Amino acid sequence: MNPDNILRQTIEAVRPVGHYIRAQRGQLSEADITDKSRNNLVSFVDREAEKKLVRALREIVPSAGFLTEEKTITTEDRALRWVVDPLDGTTNYVYGLPIYAVSVALVNGKDKLIGVIYVPEWDELFYAARGQGAFLNGKPIRVSDRCDLAQALAATGFPYYEFRHEACYMRMFEHYMHTTRGIRRLGAAAVDLAYVACGRFDFYFEFDLHPWDVAAGLLLVEEAGGKTSNFDGSGDALSGEEILASNGLLHDQLLSPI
């Protein structure tokens, strides 16, 4: 496999899907939106976008399987696979908030090889290949250089359908509310991670996500010089169950804060 060619073709697959999603915004009716589960929305746009991505990505690496959010293709349990979120931030999208993204990663087991996140409303394309750095619209990006937690700006995602970690999350939220410059909640994990990668946020924490929410963003953060882990630093964050992503300088201060 040629990483440069795969990355270029992945970008070529992702960008038009983002354009399609943006073109459909504002045309959804209530009948077009359903609940997969409590507060977990999906629309025909999510599903159609995923189908478009699967068709294009299959041509790029025919041997790769798929793990996709909307399950428009049967999950193929292969080590080498595409991890796809066709529209991260669906609730934002449905309510007319311009914070949503297309997120695509190619992984081999736990190794993240390619990551692309496209934010259509601002035409911001974040991408990375393992060992080659991270980029935004063709320009290299780096995480922030803040090492003082009191000066740090954090990002998070509130529990909205899975509340088993609510008490623990609220303790973390309170801790960071008192020890950082502030906390933001954008409602799209892929965007949060891309923003850590380019230094707009200093760190990000959340419970109960999925690989399709985080795979591309984790690679971006790592290739931009940051660090990712679970909350105590003993494992990785690819499952999404616990995710801590930072500029690296702050990481040890953020481990197990409760």
Single residue among 108, 140, 172 that ends a domain in this structure:
140
Q: Looking at the structure, do residues 39 and 72 belong to the same domain, yes or no?
A: yes
* Radius of gyration in angstroms for the set of CA atoms belonging to the chain, rounded to a whole number: 17
Note the pLDDT tens digit of each residue in 132-159: 999 999 999 999 999 999 999 999 998 7
Cβ(201)–Cβ(68) under 8 Å? no
Q: What is the CATH number of the domain that holds 180?
A: 3.40.190.80
Q: Which of 206, 213, 258 is nearest to 229 (CA)?
A: 206
- Total domain count, the chain: 2
Confidence (pTM): 0.93
For tokens 């090889």, the residue is 113
Burial of 255 (0-12, 13-18, 19+ CB in 10 A): middle
State the pLDDT at residue 39.
37
Q: Are residues 126 and 63 part of one domain?
A: yes
- How high is the pLDDT of residue 74? 72
Say whether both 113 and 168 belong to one domain.
Answer: no
Least confident piece of the model among 37-41, 69-73, 153-157, 199-203: 37-41
**Residues 86 and 154 placed together within one structural domain of the fold:** no
Do 103 and 156 share a structural domain?
no
Mean pLDDT of 206-221: 96
Q: Are residues 135 and 155 in the same domain?
A: no
Q: What is the pLDDT of residue 34?
A: 60
**Mean pLDDT of the chain, nearest integer:** 91
Q: Is 157 found in the same domain as 194? A: yes
The pLDDT, as a whole number, for residue 78 is 87
Pair 122, 182 in one domain: no
Q: What is the secondary structure of 191-256 as a DSSP string?
A: HHHHHHHTTS-SEEEEES--HHHHHHHHHHHHHTT-EEE-TTSSS-STTSSEEEEE-SSSHHHHSS
- pLDDT one-digit tens code per residue, 62-95: 999 999 987 887 766 789 999 999 999 998 998 8
